[in-house]
Amino acid sequence: MPIFKGDTQDPLNYRPISLMSVVAKICERIIKNKWTKFLEDKDILTTCQFGFRKGRSCVTNLLCYYSRVIDIIQERDGWADCIYLDLRKAFDKVLHNRLLWKLEKIGGVNGKMLKWMDDFLKNREMRTVIRDQTSVWSPILSVVPQGWVYVPYLMAYEMRLFSKIRVKK
């Protein structure tokens, strides 16, 4: 089911949304809750990640950022450099095998939970139907499904890499 973002006339602005049964959605949420508890309990997510986490918000993010910038300005006699990143379509390029490997080796996902995620991601196909026009079925090899409840947590998990960046004095 294509959902647009931006100009409706530009085909590149349409994103596929996975339609799932109610049972699959319930299973997905149970697994997500178990996995996010593990990530939080083991401090696997960076403290710099505020989105989609309990007790954190845009406001707490801004307060933390503001406090850090003030500290840096005081350390550097009045100046600070900031870099902003826009990770557009960040999960359009995620290779399923790489993601599953990382989830198992670093993210604490194993056994039946890993098998369920593996089954969900692999052997997927998509096609688009708009009115009486239908595209051909195409395999999905590297896209994490839009609307999948794990996506925000997978992004937070991947963003751990940026927490390694340190301020040079």
pLDDT of residue 52: 75
Secondary structure in 3-state letters for the chain? CEEECCCCCCHHHEEEECCCCHHHHHHHHHHHHHHHHHHHHCCCCCCCCCCCCCCCCHHHHHHHHHHHHHHHHHHCCCCCCCCCCCCCCHHHCCCHHHHHHHHHHCCCCCHHHHHHHHHHHCCEEECCEECCEECCCEEECCCCCECCCCHHHHHHHHHHHHHHCCCCC
pLDDT exceeds 60 at position 111: yes
pLDDT tens-digit series, residues 20-45: 788 888 888 888 888 888 888 888 77
